[in-house]
Structure 1
Amino acid sequence: MPTSIVIEGKISVDAVLRSNFRNVLTIFYDVAKLQRTKNKKRARSLKQTLELGNSKEVKIEAVDQKWFEQHAIGKTHGGIAAIVGERTYQKIPELLKSKPCVIFFLDGIEDPYNLGYTIRSLYAAGIDGIVMRQRNWLDVEGIIIKSSAGTSELMPMALVEDLETTTNYFKSKNYTIACTGKDEGQSIYQSNLKPPLFIVIGGEKRGINRNIF
């Protein structure tokens, strides 16, 4: 089983470099793009990423377009990619800061693009952390990082085995447990959605396990 992946694009590489959740092993850049004079702004932006990598003592290699054709998923890499290690996830207590938090549990989202888009939206909304079921995401993390615009690397996240046990833990910490549903619910405008709050979002197919409520 691989313990490293290739991520691509400046936003993804910058996010991993700025995060403390995984190691960047090697950065690859298209030397032709760096030397182009037609798009000086893009070349300057690429150079800033390489300088950030240098400041963190990351190995940097100049390659040609053929390298990206062989290793990149698509054509939107912008001439930069990196090999990175596995992500370090937090423990549940590490997500809970001294202030009351808003934590989301993403239950059963299978599509990596949907997961990335969801993480990006939650990060933009200022959510404090995300909890997901235990799973090896390594084979699709490059997609998640890119579709989340790098925010999956900046968002504190924890993996757990059991949603019911996790929900009971948050209940013991006086968190309000909430989710959307068709039946037996109340209007969002009549609900207390102030922190501390633990919100469960179901997946594309099976929704939410009813046993947690």
Structure 2
Amino acid sequence: MNEAIDRLVGRNPVREALEQEETRVEKVLLQEGAGGPALEAIRRAARAHGVPVQMVPKARLDRLAAGAVHQGVVAFVAPVRYRTLEELLDEVAPSPEAVRERLPLLVALDQIEDPHNYGAILRTAAAAGVAGVLVPRHHMAPLNAAALKASAGAALRIPIARVTNLTRALESLKAHGFWVAGASPSGEVSVWEMDWHRPLVLVLGNEGRGLRPGVAQACDLLVSIPLRGPVESLNVSVAAGILLFAATRTRQ
């Protein structure tokens, strides 16, 4: 299923989109009078791909960016395609044997509400080599311009599957050979003691409520990040970075 993203805002997201064959940029708007190597590189990339480039006043970019920092460039793009769970598995590991052989790492997001957190997690997931991301169809932040900006274009690189029932999707992945680990401040396993070297789905919960009870129950284990200072929890995108790069370090 597709969800339209009508524009990309900022130099990195636009440049990333122009580099992706699967993402069709329809038009690039550049700020009149703005220059520099980054904008010139975007102009050249757009023309190399046959994408129209239009010079427009800064006021128009300000309106289109809706408060985001546009850095002199906005692009209109075709829809980003959400996969089904089956399509994601076909790409990542189509059989239990492939799961055991490839040891893929997936991320599941349980009702993340802030588009900036959504985008930041996608950026971290792509940097950590995550094979794909699962999100619920309902009560989930939109993949809008703010999320795309925060992802620095990573949302255009990493496969994202949208599912109707996240708990059932996790059970399906377990049947396919994955372990499921939920991030929780009360987790019984420390991030530093966790066995990351296995086919794994890391589940990250809502910014305020954490994992829903049914989702937590579907997890094989809960993993925590030990905190030393006088705080109870971390921002979910910060926690994602710690957990995913702990996983990457031990899976190399």
1:103 correspondence with 2:99: no
Query: Equivalent residue for 1:151?
Result: 154
Corresponding position of 1:24 = 25
CA distance 1:119–1:206, change in 2 (3 Å): same
**Distance in 2 between residues matched to 1:92 and 1:140, nearest whole Å:** 18
CA distance in 2, matches of 1:162, 1:20: 31
**Residue 19 of structure 1: how far off its partner (Å):** 2.6
Residue in structure 1 matched with residue 197 of structure 2 by the alignment: 194
Q: 1:66 to 1:210 in 2, by over 3 A?
A: closer
Question: Bigger CA drift: 132-141 or 47-56?
Answer: 132-141
Q: After superposition, give the CA deviation of every residue in 1:125-165 in whole Å (9 maximum; x if it has no partner).
A: 22221111125989651101111222222222111111122
Work out whether residues 108 and 206 of structure 1, in 8 Å CA contact, stay in contact via their aligned partners in 2: no
**Whole-Å Cα distance in 2 between the matches of residues 138 and 165 of structure 1?**
20
**Contact 2:25/2:78 (8 A) holds in 1:** yes
Which position in structure 1 is the counterpart of 2:53?
60
Report the more deviating stretch, 97-106 or 70-79.
Answer: 70-79
Q: Displacement, 1:190?
A: 3.8
| Bigger mean CA offset, 196-205 vs 114-123 | 114-123
Matches for 1:171-210 after TM superposition, within 5 Å: 171-183=174-186, 185-210=188-213
Counterpart-to-counterpart distance in 2, 1:62 and 1:19: 23
Q: How many residues align?
A: 204
User: Cα deviation per residue 1:106-126 (whole Å; 9 max; x = unaligned)?
Assistant: 111001111112222222222
- Structure 2 match to 1:49: 42
Q: Tell me, what secondary structure is at the counterpart of 1:159?
A: strand
Contact 1:107 1:201 survives alignment (8 Å): yes
Letter in 2 for 1:161: T
Distance 1:70 1:189 in 2: 46
TM-score of the aligned structures, taking structure 2 as reference length: 0.72
Which fold has the larger relative contact order, with Cα–Cα distance below 8 Å and residues 6 or more apart in sequence? 1
Compared CA separation, residues 79 and 138, structure 1 to 2 (3 A): farther
| RMSD (CA atoms) | 2.5
Partner of 1:129: 132
> Could you tell me which amino acid in structure 1 is paired with residue 41 of structure 2?
Q
